[in-house]
Structure formats: structure tokens, C-alpha cells
Chain A
Amino acid sequence: GDSVTQMEGPVTLSEEAFLTINCTYTATGYPSLFWYVQYPGEGLQLLLKATKADDKGSNKGFEATYRKETTSFHLEKGSVQVSDSAVYFCALSAVANQFYFGTGTSLTVIP
């Protein structure tokens, strides 16, 4: 069945460091791929998405490229800030009404 596997955390980085959170997927069809962010005490917020191969989603300095050949959608940011500390979820949707989420990766950025 469809599934998402993302890098286990927690991840701790110093401010201005480069961030990569790995996400790979398994899907029978042609999924849309998403990254969501969850700040402490809040729900999930859509960070970025890509709907077809080679698309790049970007938002707030984060970006991820839909790689069909490696079934990956890794999240990257060139220079993280303390305010980026949160839990990040990779997700896919290949069939209407069906969304599959990864287990979440906790990121802490220290000054």
C-alpha cells in the first residue's frame, strides 16, 4: 500500500546551519507530495507541496523537489532559524480522500 518514510529525529542544529530532512515514498499511482509543519501546541500547517514529478515546492525558505526516479521528496533549507523549531511531516495523497503521513521529524534550532 501507499506509505511515507521519513528521517527519524530528533534533529538539533545550530542557527544558520543547512537542513535536510529525508522523505521517501511508496505509491501505486502518481501521488501529490506535501510537507507540513507543526509548532508546539498547534495543528499541522501546510508548508509546501508538489503535484507531479520534477516539481519543486517552496515556501519560507524551505524547498523540496519531487523526484520520481528516487521516490523522494526531501525537505531542505539553506539557513535555519530558531523559529523553525517544530515537527515536520512528509505526506502523500495518491487517491482521493486518502492522505498518508510520515511519523514526523522533530527539529530544534539552537542559537
Chain B
Amino acid sequence: EADIYQTPRYLVIGTGKKITLECSQTMGHDKMYWYQQDPGMELHLIHYSYGVNSTEKGDLSSESTVSRIRTEHFPLTLESARPSHTSQYLCASSDSGTTIFEETQYFGPGTRLLVL
């Protein structure tokens, strides 16, 4: 079973507020990811990280930012929340295996965000 945690699980917040979604993993994985999952269930990669001090933008443009100061921690921040940010946010990490062909992503339980 994967040890990857996200808090909060649910968040309701007003427009204009700053929020940080937390993600931590205890597996020692170098690679971590943030996905946005829309109501139609499709996953969109918004950020990823190869390791400490590495962050990259994903396929879907996002107004959020991320940081990776510690291997186990990959928080996502929205400086000013808007209703269009309402979604489910999934954090994942991956092991490298012995080759890239064995790399597998493990997911946290998700944060469901509602911006009023």
C-alpha cells in the first residue's frame, strides 16, 4: 500500500483567498506530480518534480505554483482562489524501479476544492 498523504481532504473557501494543498510521501520517491481531475474524471497534469529544488509545469496551464524543498513534501499553492479552480486535486509520486519501464505512479486520496 502506498504511503502518500494529502490534506485537507475537503476545502470550501471564498474567492480571493490564498490556499495551500499539502502532499507528503514516506516512500522516498524522487518524482512527484500534481493532477487536476475534472468532473468528467479526466486527469490533467499541472505540475511535476524530479527531486528537491526541481519543479516543472505540466500539460495543463494552471495558476497554481509548487515547491519542492524536501523530498517528501510537494505543496501546491493558489495565491488567489477563484471559482474556476473548483476541482479535485490529486498528488502522486513514482519510483524509478530498475528501469523506466518499471516506474509506477502511486496516488494520494485527493483534495476536493470548492471555491465560492
Contact = CB atoms under 8 A, between A and B. Distances in A.
B43 A95 contact: no
A45 interface: yes
Contacts, number: 65
B90 A43 contact: yes
A103 B103 contact: no
B72 to A, nearest CB: 17
Contact of B101 (A52, A87, A89, A91): A52
A42 to B, nearest CB: 5
Interface in A18-35: 30, 32, 34
Interface residues of B, number: 28
B48 interface: yes
B42 A104 contact: yes
Given A43-B90, A89-B43, A32 B109 contact: no
Nearest to A31: B101
Nearest to A46: B104
Interface of A: 30, 32, 34, 36, 38, 41-46, 49, 51-52, 87, 89, 91, 93, 95-97, 99, 101, 103-104, 106
10 contacts: A30-B101, A34-B105, A41-B109, A43-B108, A43-B110, A44-B105, A46-B105, A89-B43, A96-B103, A97-B50
